[in-house]
Amino acid sequence: MKRLYFDILDSTNEKAKRMLRNKEISSDTLIRALEQSSGKGRLGRSWLSKKGEGLYLSIIKEVDINKNPSILTVAAAIAVFKSLESFDVKDLGIKWPNDILIGSKKLCGILSELIEVDGRFFAIIGIGINVNNKSFSEDLTTKATSLFLENVYIDMMDLMDNLELSFEEVYNKVSDRWNLEKIVNFLNDHLIGIGNTVEFNYKGTKFLGIIDGINADGSLRIISEGRLMDIFSGEITLKGLYK
């Protein structure tokens, strides 16, 4: 994979989009910034991106739009999980759709975006990992953690190298249907909240349900009011997770 490093960017995802549109990069590129001035999170949130605190990168892959590109987000979550596991990080879990937690606190977030350039589609998979953060603001302190706060030391460059390899490995597997099943099983084995009550939005209405698992297309299966519902996007609130 080709790598591009920057000291500071608004957002590695935004930079990736601009460079794709300008034909400055193509598939299989990794963009990293030491710092982001407008780091983006999911659902219009921002992502804290101070220099030296986290690993901020985006991976660009051309996708076949007919082959469920959202599986790439799932692949990224598994890649981060496996990479951290290989550094012996304990108590890891995956919260749907793609947060990596330690215990009940978020360590890593993933923001995947899809853009079209001249009829070709590219997935931009933005990954943010809290590495050296010594503390979080009052509203985040019960919800977020960093490797430092968990007493784990991993050199950021080593983490990035390992993560890239891990991503390629999982990516190659999800392109194959037989392996996809194994990948989904792996995800379900590490999914936080199976059997737990969850609050979610479905077509604008709030529901309570029980998490059943993740489907092969990356959607979340919830049992609510006696029936199965598949949730493709949005946010779920696990009852009793953050206390």
- Omega of the bond leading into 69 within 30 degrees of 0 (cis): no
Please give the residues from 46 up to 65 whose contact with ligand BTN meets the rule CB under 6 A.
Answer: 47, 56-58
**Closest CB to ligand BTN: residue number:** 109
Among 19, 27, 42, 148, binds ligand BTN (CB under 6 A): 42
Residue 7 CA to residue 81 CA, distance in Å, equals 26
Q: Which stretch binds ligand BTN (CB under 6 A): 10-18, 77-85, 210-218, 231-239?
A: 10-18
Among 92, 102, 111, 198, binds ligand BTN (CB under 6 A): 111
Q: Note whether 209 and 198 are within 8 A (CB).
A: yes
Q: Contact between 109 and ligand BTN (CB under 6 A)? A: yes
Q: Contact between 21 and ligand BTN (CB under 6 A)? A: no
Q: Contact between 81 and ligand BTN (CB under 6 A)? A: no
Q: Contact between 45 and ligand BTN (CB under 6 A)? A: yes
Q: Which residues pair with 121 in a beta bridge?
A: 63, 116
Q: Contact between 11 and ligand BTN (CB under 6 A)? A: yes
Q: Note whether 159 and 100 are within 8 A (CB).
A: no
How big is the site for ligand BTN, counted in residues (CB under 6 A)? Answer: 20
Coil, strand or helix at 232: coil
Q: Contact between 76 and ligand BTN (CB under 6 A)? A: no
Q: The tokens of 154 are what?
A: 């991993």
Residue 13 CA to residue 206 CA, distance in Å, equals 31
Q: Note whether 235 and 199 are within 8 A (CB).
A: no
Q: Which stretch binds ligand BTN (CB under 6 A): 32-40, 136-144, 149-157, 199-207?
A: 32-40
Q: Contact between 113 and ligand BTN (CB under 6 A)? A: no
Strand 105-117's sheet: what is its strand order?
2-9, 29-36, 54-63, 120-130, 105-117, 99-102, 92-95
In the complex, the residues that contact ligand BTN under the rule CB under 6 A are 11-13, 36, 39-42, 45, 47, 56-58, 99, 109-111, 126-128
